[in-house]
A and B are shown apart, each in its own frame.
Chain A
Amino acid sequence: MTTTTSGNRQTVSVHGTEVELFSGGSGPPLLFLHGAGGNSGWQHYHEELSKDYTVYVPSQPGFNGTERPDWVYSINDVCHFNSALVNTLGLDKYILMGSSMGGWIAAEMAAMNCNNLEALILIDAAGIKPESGEIAEIFMVSNETRMRQRFHDPSQVANYENYTRDLNDQEKIIDHSNKEMASRLCWKPYLHNLSLPYYLNNVSVPTLIVWGEQDAIIPVECADLFRKAIPNSQLEIIANCGHSPAIEKPNEFVSTVTGFLASIK
């Protein structure tokens, strides 16, 4: 499919379901999967990565007010949906990157089949149950609490006011649909799959695990659990950073990712 040098919003049809997709750049394909908060669209770090890669940022089914196929009820269902998306986009030897819930989906997809993967990148990923701590409650809390959990230091977040402002009616509908869909997929077991650490033995591609050291949603101990579970993996901890390093520490995040990708070429 055609690509552009900056984020381009379009829809693609996956077995009859319309998928919202942002894409841009040129080079080897990189598929980015967003977290439970929904698709924030084309971000600064996508733009940076698109200098060397063709970056695809789809809205997962049901998120951002998009269509939800009746059969999509679980992370496993989303993985199968995404496999169809990958086929539709014709991606081969692609880099699979996911953040938070998207990291969980990416890990499950890689465990199912990494034959067409070049690399896996997990960012503060859900999916593994912590051994000593807990994954913080993100559904039964107010927006204010959720925002406090997400960032370690709001002063590090560009345009932080954009995250806390009142939403317009259209944005409220999108926010509602994101929370509804995330609840559907992640409620129980809560943001983890007890079998996932065992599945991850199947992941043979080079894997980068990136984590904010002060992640208040998914404790940093999970980063080490991912590293132990994935044979060919390395862990990079970003200091003074919460659950969203790509937003809170964008430069360190991008250099960590590009450094890793350069190292495996």
Chain B
Amino acid sequence: MSLEVFWFSEQPYGHVTDQDLESYESGRMHFPNTHFDPEKAHVLYNNYHEQYTLADEVGFDGIMSNEHHSAYWCMKPSVNVDAAVISKVTKRCKIAMLGNVIAVNDPVKMAEEIAMLDCISGGRIISGFVRGTAVETLHAGISPTENRDRFEEAHDLIVKCWTEPGPFRWEGKYFPHRMVNPWVVPIQKPHPAVWFPGTGSPESVIWAAKHQYPYMNLGSLLDLTKQLKQIYFETAQEVGFEPGPEHFGYLMRCLVADTDEKAQELGRTFLWTEGHRNRGPVEFNDPPGYQSREAVAIKMARPLIGTGTMGKRMSYEELQDAHNIIVGSPETVIKKLRYIKETLDPGYLLIYGNEGDMPHQDIMRSVELLGTKVIPALKDD
């Protein structure tokens, strides 16, 4: 396959400052929503939608979206709502939802909504399923000990909704339904592609490989990502299929400007959430029972494996040296992305393209340069 490049924005509420956050025990659950101004959010949402439209026009293969809850750095509590917007403000690009937190939602409604999006968009949906950060589960009022089993059951039920005619009965443990008969089914057959993301957990990689779903690594350091990719390949061989680039994607923070100097200045804002993004007690980020005992054992056996760059405070320069943040003129960025391409051989590059209060017009320029200069160069390789 030829490399595909996706645009991604967390849609941050960029008005939050370190001073706003520092007196709270955590950057998520404790940070009060009195800091949220809906009028400012209105402006931001519409800026982000303009960026989507431009990304589609200038040649991105797709737009990726996600959801988080109780997070100042992601104003999207519903990936399906954002995907609906993308499907209407773009014409041709794929829409990768990475994804629905299916463990904490009604799977039948998820199946219906994703099918509806696939019909509206003309079959452009890639349906990612995620376990979510633990905070997603906590915020939903659900025991972290249930997330894993609920995820498995929700996944099976959604796929069944898409692939088997209704009505049928689902005698599940968490989502029992006596009559399942969703009227709307996906336009793509047998169903939209399913992607599965992860930051550093080998358990996620193994789950994706066992289901032959492409695995998207969300910004781990390259050495760790190579290890995780190796786990995917080993698991694939056990399962009995030969994985290729189409089974692997990689997300990194990336910004392009007309000059290296300008990009360096703008890119500093990628560190906007440093120290706050996941700050809080371990009971928020990794509560007991959220990971299986087997996953804890795997982690202990592979000491390098952690959770992305979490826990390691790296400087702006160190993150650039590690190709975790890539900023520069088109020429600089092409060179660095080629390095990632050669190192990881991904089928998909996911561009985490803005952060914090980066000015909208600068992001629009970055999208334009990525689409007109960088992506064509990468595809020509």
Q: Can you name the residue of chain B whose Cβ is closest to the Cβ of A176?
A: B288
Measured CB to CB, the closest approach of chain A to B122, in angstroms, equals: 41
- Say yes or no: is A183 at the interface (Cβ < 8 Å to chain B): yes
* Complex alpha-carbon distance, A183 and B145, angstroms: 7
Q: Which residues of A sit under 8 angstroms from B281, Cβ to Cβ?
A: 140-142, 145
* Complex alpha-carbon distance, A183 and B289, angstroms: 8
Given the known A-B contacts A140-B29, A142-B281, are A179 and B288 also in contact in the complex, defined by CB atoms under 8 Å?
yes
Measured CB to CB, the closest approach of chain A to B72, in angstroms, equals: 18
- Say yes or no: is A139 at the interface (Cβ < 8 Å to chain B): yes
Measured CB to CB, the closest approach of chain A to B174, in angstroms, equals: 11
- Say yes or no: is A187 at the interface (Cβ < 8 Å to chain B): yes
Q: Which residues of A sit under 8 angstroms from B287, Cβ to Cβ?
A: 139-140, 179, 183
- Say yes or no: is A9 at the interface (Cβ < 8 Å to chain B): no
> Per-residue 0/1 for A165-193: is the Cβ within 8 Å of any B Cβ (1 yes, 0 no)?
00000000000111110011001100000
Q: Which residues of B sit under 8 angstroms from A180, Cβ to Cβ?
A: 145, 288-289
* Complex alpha-carbon distance, A141 and B145, angstroms: 16
Measured CB to CB, the closest approach of chain B to A126, in angstroms, equals: 16
Measured CB to CB, the closest approach of chain B to A61, in angstroms, equals: 14
- Say yes or no: is B138 at the interface (Cβ < 8 Å to chain A): yes
Measured CB to CB, the closest approach of chain B to A78, in angstroms, equals: 14
- Say yes or no: is B278 at the interface (Cβ < 8 Å to chain A): no
The answer on a CB contact under 8 Å between A183 and B288 is yes
Measured CB to CB, the closest approach of chain A to B278, in angstroms, equals: 14
| Residue from the list B29, B143, B284 in contact with A183, Cβ < 8 A | B143
Q: Which residues of B sit under 8 angstroms from A187, Cβ to Cβ?
A: 142-143, 145-146
Q: Which residues of B sit under 8 angstroms from A141, Cβ to Cβ?
A: 281, 283
Given the known A-B contacts A139-B283, A140-B284, A142-B281, are A184 and B138 also in contact in the complex, defined by CB atoms under 8 Å?
no
Given the known A-B contacts A139-B283, A140-B283, A141-B281, are A184 and B141 also in contact in the complex, defined by CB atoms under 8 Å?
no
The answer on a CB contact under 8 Å between A184 and B283 is no
> Per-residue 0/1 for B4-42: is the Cβ within 8 Å of any A Cβ (1 yes, 0 no)?
000000000000000000000100010000000000000
- Say yes or no: is B144 at the interface (Cβ < 8 Å to chain A): yes
Q: Can you name the residue of chain B whose Cβ is closest to the Cβ of A146?
A: B283
* Complex alpha-carbon distance, A176 and B282, angstroms: 11
Q: Which residues of B sit under 8 angstroms from A140, Cβ to Cβ?
A: 29, 138, 281, 283-284, 287
The answer on a CB contact under 8 Å between B143 and A184 is yes
The answer on a CB contact under 8 Å between A142 and B145 is no
Q: Which residues of A sit under 8 angstroms from B142, Cβ to Cβ?
A: 187-188
Measured CB to CB, the closest approach of chain A to B203, in angstroms, equals: 16
* Complex alpha-carbon distance, A247 and B29, angstroms: 32
* Complex alpha-carbon distance, A74 and B29, angstroms: 26
* Complex alpha-carbon distance, A177 and B144, angstroms: 13
CB contact list, A117-153 vs B, under 8 A:
139-142, 145
The answer on a CB contact under 8 Å between A188 and B283 is no
Q: Which residues of A sit under 8 angstroms from B284, Cβ to Cβ?
A: 140
Measured CB to CB, the closest approach of chain B to A135, in angstroms, equals: 15
Given the known A-B contacts A139-B283, A142-B283, are A183 and B144 also in contact in the complex, defined by CB atoms under 8 Å?
yes
* Complex alpha-carbon distance, A139 and B287, angstroms: 8
* Complex alpha-carbon distance, A8 and B166, angstroms: 59
* Complex alpha-carbon distance, A183 and B143, angstroms: 6
CB contact list, B109-141 vs A, under 8 A:
138, 141
* Complex alpha-carbon distance, A176 and B145, angstroms: 12
* Complex alpha-carbon distance, A181 and B238, angstroms: 33
Measured CB to CB, the closest approach of chain B to A146, in angstroms, equals: 9
Q: Which residues of A sit under 8 angstroms from B144, Cβ to Cβ?
A: 183
Q: Which residues of A sit under 8 angstroms from B141, Cβ to Cβ?
A: 188
* Complex alpha-carbon distance, A11 and B25, angstroms: 42
The answer on a CB contact under 8 Å between A179 and B289 is yes
Q: Which residues of A sit under 8 angstroms from B25, Cβ to Cβ?
A: 142
Q: Can you name the residue of chain B whose Cβ is closest to the Cβ of A137?
A: B283
Given the known A-B contacts A140-B138, A140-B284, A142-B283, are A184 and B289 also in contact in the complex, defined by CB atoms under 8 Å?
yes
Q: Can you name the residue of chain B whose Cβ is closest to the Cβ of A179?
A: B288
Q: Which residues of B sit under 8 angstroms from A184, Cβ to Cβ?
A: 143, 145-146, 289
Residues of A within 8 A of B (CB): 139-142, 145, 176-180, 183-184, 187-188
Residues of B within 8 A of A (CB): 25, 29, 138, 141-146, 281-284, 287-289, 296
Supply 29 A–B pairs (Cβ within 8 Å), ascending by A.
A139-B283, A140-B138, A140-B281, A141-B281, A141-B283, A142-B281, A142-B282, A176-B288, A176-B296, A177-B288, A178-B288, A179-B283, A179-B287, A179-B288, A179-B289, A180-B145, A180-B288, A183-B143, A183-B144, A183-B287, A183-B288, A183-B289, A184-B143, A184-B145, A184-B146, A184-B289, A187-B142, A187-B146, A188-B142
In the A-B complex, list the 5 residue pairs whose CB atoms are closest, starting with the nearest: A187-B143, A180-B289, A179-B288, A142-B281, A180-B288
